[in-house]
Copies of this chain bind each other. A is one copy, B any other.
């Protein structure tokens, strides 16, 4: 059983979400993508799948069992990681979304993310090096000078330089305002960087010629708090004029963090300027570092959501195949005798666990790609209102997707283990690693508690409530579309009711700030996020159910089982998950204060 060889993702699933639910072919109407079509999209997706399956998946367990080692200041990794990333680079994935003139494929972001999904599912730890590099390059693209782009970004697009995001410090994980790394201007436009960073992924390895650390630091004399942070390019090696590596820039790895999962990605404690001068180049204007960093951070949050979803999907696929193959027990009506055991998928409770997994991770998959599509619309639509509305909707959905997806997918991984039973608890099967790897996702790139505060404290009130209103409008639109589809009217109605709840509770909470204070209101941020998350996932199910119903009406019967599965999973979500909204709303409506009032001394 340990050798089940199963695809990480059902290609039907990918095609259904991209083409039937999200209609990404319509992106061809944008000038930027004029030369693209389903054929070019599919070609990129097939290449991603091929490399992911052949070069990323095979060493996923090996890199879990062989953590990075720090020896004499250098970090060694298993060789397969470099090999896989080399193939990733050769296939052009570092620049897949970039302009043709920069050697890119000019693919929509939704397609590049769909490509990345194969890598996330195959080996999230190895893919992290690539993702960090792509996101760092995107930040440079948005805010760096032309010279900086030429020297640092272009080699990243080739996969010759890798990137990192260096925010956290031991005393400043979630609290970026307390960052204490410093930058002192020299006479030549460069800055002397001093201080330490903690939890920096991908900051130590020999995979690339150079490592481009994007470092938040405080220029001497800057104001305290987040408004005094500036962003610097701090390469591992300084560059000669011709772009080749010059001397070591005194970015030292003091230690590696030993994690429970995600072990193939080096996670480091860094020191700048220890034993020699460390120089950095300012990106953009002084004291604007955090807002620049959020460009990368927001991208990272979508990636966290998608990678957690892919770990969830990989576990789902594995436990599904296991359940089809593993024979154990009899049906309740035929317990005794010498009869042959049945496949465990025949046990209703196993199907319950499979269905629950699906309901979480397939909605997450659709939502993640929907978010990526919003990026394309925001950047490319000819209508300024569409661009702005896409931006606001994405702002609203980012904390929801990051948190809900990482929590749901972790439960999905837990259920995959449960289906495999004792086998699932051993390292001979992949599901326990998915669970351990996935546990990072509710923590990094802003804990889910931070996301909740971001949602209720900022996003729900953004642009005078427009972001929230746009979200509600989109959900209602889907409910309206569903209301005339056979068998979906009841779901549409449930979703409409849930949305009314959301409107009421949003107004209530935001209105309460004035008379009970912001702290008491924000104490309700997590249940508020759970309300929005449940509605969002239900919305994604209804979108999928509409597409599935449509396809059933227009395709041959032999294709229907996939669509029936979609409809049944939608039914599951509306039966078991959407009713939780009312419970949460009920508690929040009383302006929940149980934990707010809990005195620390009472613990």
Contact = CB atoms under 8 A, between A and B. Distances in A.
Interface of A: 168, 171-175, 177-178, 198-199, 224-225, 227, 257-261, 320, 324, 327-333, 335-338, 341, 343, 345-355, 358, 410, 414, 417-418, 421-422, 424-428, 432, 435-436, 439-440, 442-444, 447-449, 452-453, 457, 517-519, 522-523, 525-526, 561-562, 564-565, 568, 571-572, 575-576, 579-580, 582-583, 586-587, 590, 592, 594-603
B442 A358 contact: no
B571 A594 contact: yes
Given A258-B427, A328-B174, A345 B525 contact: no
**Which 8 interchain pairs have the tightest Cβ spacing?**
A565-B602, A348-B523, A352-B595, A175-B329, A349-B449, A260-B432, A351-B595, A572-B594
Given A224-B337, A600-B324, A594 B565 contact: no
Given A349-B525, A418-B448, A594 B568 contact: yes
A198 to B, nearest CB: 8
B599 A561 contact: yes
B518 A333 contact: yes
Given A178-B328, A351-B595, A580-B583, 8 more contacts: A261-B425, A345-B600, A348-B522, A349-B449, A355-B598, A418-B448, A425-B439, A583-B583
Nearest to A1: B170
Contacts of A601: 561
- How many copies the complex holds: the figure is 2
A443 B428 contact: no
Given A523-B349, A594-B572, A601-B561, A225 B336 contact: yes
B354 A603 contact: yes
A570 to B, nearest CB: 10
Given A525-B349, A594-B572, A418 B447 contact: yes
Contacts of A583: 579-580, 582-583
Contacts of A346: 600
Contacts of A337: 224-225
11 contacts: A175-B330, A177-B330, A224-B338, A258-B428, A332-B519, A348-B523, A349-B526, A436-B436, A562-B602, A575-B587, A579-B583
Contact of A260 (B177, B353, B427): B427
A178 B338 CA distance: 9
Contacts of A600: 324, 343, 345-346, 351
Contact of A599 (B447, B448, B564): B564
B333 A519 contact: yes
A8 to B, nearest CB: 16
A232 to B, nearest CB: 22
A425 B406 CA distance: 15
Nearest to A576: B587
Nearest to A328: B175
B341 A175 contact: yes
A442 B353 CA distance: 14
Contacts of A320: 603
A177 B335 contact: yes
A564 B602 contact: yes
A327 B169 CA distance: 13
A193 B452 CA distance: 60
Contact of A421 (B261, B345, B447): B447
B579 A225 contact: no
A576 B603 contact: no
A457 to B, nearest CB: 8
Contacts of A587: 575-576, 579
B436 A421 contact: no
A424 B440 CA distance: 10
A596 B351 contact: yes
Contacts of A579: 583, 586-587
Given A351-B596, A598-B355, A601-B561, A439 B417 contact: yes
Contacts of A174: 328-329, 421
A109 B587 CA distance: 40
Contact of A341 (B178, B355, B586): B178
A453 B565 CA distance: 26
Given A351-B595, A426-B259, A603-B565, A517 B333 contact: yes
A135 B252 CA distance: 54
A179 to B, nearest CB: 12
A78 to B, nearest CB: 19
Contacts of A439: 414, 417, 425, 432, 435
Contacts of A324: 600
Contacts of A448: 418
A415 to B, nearest CB: 10
Contacts of A562: 602
A260 B595 contact: no
